[in-house]
């Protein structure tokens, strides 16, 4: 264990929006972190995101002992999940929301690690139980669902499948707290507690936009001032990424039913490359 109560060595598969935030959180808690990204260009981009995040943490006085350089020195990048260090205590998978992709990287990681390692998925919606079925040691697997933006978000959903061992749940809850975040334990089911509710609100807001009920600014402001949500449902969709939201909605439509069917406007915007903040345009503009 690192001094603060997280495993000494942590792996994060996928260093995109979420993976880089998760890596940053474990670095701040004192762990050595290996991030898996294929290819030099993707690795450099992930390294850059994490470096920027740590600089911001330092500006906000969130670096405990080390300086930015010392914290960043505990980060390394590898090309493939099979190359993760055998002594890794915890791996969090944060590749795109596709079951086949997640199974491929999780099974590769499992083969590289010792029998006590815990594997976790950051999936927003996919069945943790079905992902577990592809593994040799399903008892050591669970969902650790972080929220965006990871450094500012206080929540991690701990998603428990029927086969997840009790001691793994206990350890994972301790790690979440050691990150300075709050854990909520949720039984595995499509969309867990947060995506099931959050996505429905987002989809309804898009349908309202399609119907011309109000413009995006008005819909968001209604929820921000009326319900005191920190961000309206369209601004939140822009932050998550319209492509990510579409993948989640498609899965939930298939499992929970028609009410999650993605509106045509969401499909059109994704097809047009308007993915939200990351592309500068979604339901709002980000110059």
Ligand X SMILES: NC(=O)C1=CN([C@@H]2O[C@H](COP(=O)(O)OP(=O)(O)OC[C@H]3O[C@@H](n4cnc5c(N)ncnc54)[C@H](OP(=O)(O)O)[C@@H]3O)[C@@H](O)[C@H]2O)C=CC1
Please, which residue, 9 or 195, has the CB nearer to ligand CAA?
A: 195
Stretch that binds ligand X, among 13-21, 61-69, 185-193, 214-222 (CB under 6 A): 13-21
Please confirm whether the linkage preceding 149 is cis (ω < 30° from 0).
yes
Q: Work out what residue 88 binds among ligand X, ligand CAA, none; the CB cut-off runs from 5 to 8 Å by kind.
A: none
Q: Work out what residue 198 binds among ligand X, ligand CAA, none; the CB cut-off runs from 5 to 8 Å by kind.
A: ligand CAA
- Site map 181..200 versus ligand CAA, x via CB under 6 A: -------------xx--x--
Give one word for 98, left, alpha or beta, with left for phi > 0 and alpha for psi -120 to 50: beta
Q: What is the DSSP letter of 79?
A: S
Q: Which helix (H) or strand (E) holds 118?
A: strand 118-121
Q: Which of 240, 242, 246, 252 forms a contact with ligand X (CB under 6 A)?
A: 240
Q: Residues 107, 133: contact at Cβ < 8 Å?
A: no
Stretch that binds ligand X, among 30-38, 133-141, 169-177, 208-216 (CB under 6 A): 30-38
Token output for 15: 């260093």
Q: CB-based contacts of 279: which residues, under 8 Å, 6+ apart?
A: 273
Q: Residues 206, 261: contact at Cβ < 8 Å?
A: no
Query: Does 152 participate in binding ligand CAA (rule CB under 6 A)?
Result: yes
Q: Work out what residue 134 binds among ligand X, ligand CAA, none; the CB cut-off runs from 5 to 8 Å by kind.
A: none
Query: Does 236 participate in binding ligand CAA (rule CB under 6 A)?
Result: yes
Query: Does 42 participate in binding ligand X (rule CB under 6 A)?
Result: yes
Q: What is the DSSP letter of 264?
A: H
The angle at the Cα of 117, spanning 115 to 120, to the nearest 5 degrees, equals: 130
Please, which residue, 83 or 274, has the CB nearer to ligand CAA?
A: 274
Q: Work out what residue 17 binds among ligand X, ligand CAA, none; the CB cut-off runs from 5 to 8 Å by kind.
A: ligand X
Task: Restricting to residues 119-148, name those near ligand CAA by CB under 6 A.
Answer: 124, 147-148
Nearest-angstrom CA–CA distance, 137 and 132: 8
Query: Does 15 participate in binding ligand X (rule CB under 6 A)?
Result: yes
Q: Which of 241, 263, 276, 282 forms a contact with ligand X (CB under 6 A)?
A: 241
Token output for 3: 């001094």
Token output for 37: 């990204």
Task: Restricting to residues 60-119, name those near ligand X by CB under 6 A.
Answer: 94-97, 101, 105
CA distance to 143, 239, 267, 273, 281, per residue, from 276 (Å): 26, 6, 13, 9, 5
Judged by the rule CB under 6 A, the positions of this chain that interact with ligand X are: 13-19, 36-38, 42, 94-97, 101, 105, 122-124, 146-148, 240-241, 244
């Amino acid at each position: 264990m690192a001094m603060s109560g997280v495993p000494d060595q942590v792996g994060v598969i996928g260093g995109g929006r979420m993976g880089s935030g998760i890596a940053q959180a474990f670095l701040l808690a004192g762990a050595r972190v290996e991030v898996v990204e294929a290819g030099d260009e993707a690795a450099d981009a992930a390294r850059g995101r994490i470096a920027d995040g740590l600089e911001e943490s330092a500006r906000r006085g969130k670096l405990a002992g080390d300086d930015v350089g010392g914290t960043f020195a505990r980060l390394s990048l590898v090309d493939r999940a099979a190359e993760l260090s055998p002594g890794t205590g915890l791996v969090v998978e944060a590749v795109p929301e596709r079951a086949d992709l997640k199974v491929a990287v999780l099974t590769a990681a499992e083969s590289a690690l010792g029998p006590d390692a815990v594997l976790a998925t950051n999936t927003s919606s996919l069945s943790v139980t079905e992902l577990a079925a592809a593994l040799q040691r399903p008892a050591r697997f669970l969902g650790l669902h972080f929220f965006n933006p990871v450094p500012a978000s206080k929540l991690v959903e701990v998603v428990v499948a029927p086969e997840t061992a009790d001691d793994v749940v206990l350890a994972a809850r301790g790690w979440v707290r050691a990150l300075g975040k709050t854990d909520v334990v949720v039984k595995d089911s499509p969309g867990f507690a947060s995506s099931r509710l959050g996505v429905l609100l987002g989809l309804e807001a898009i349908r309202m936009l399609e119907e011309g009920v109000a413009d995006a600014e008005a819909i968001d402001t209604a929820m921000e001032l009326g319900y005191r949500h920190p961000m309206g449902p369209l601004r939140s969709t822009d932050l998550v990424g319209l492509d990510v939201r579409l993948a989640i909605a498609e899965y939930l439509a298939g499992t929970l039913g028609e009410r999650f069917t993605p509106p045509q406007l969401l499909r059109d915007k994704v097809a047009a490359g308007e993915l939200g903040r990351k592309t500068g345009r979604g339901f709002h503009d980000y110059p």
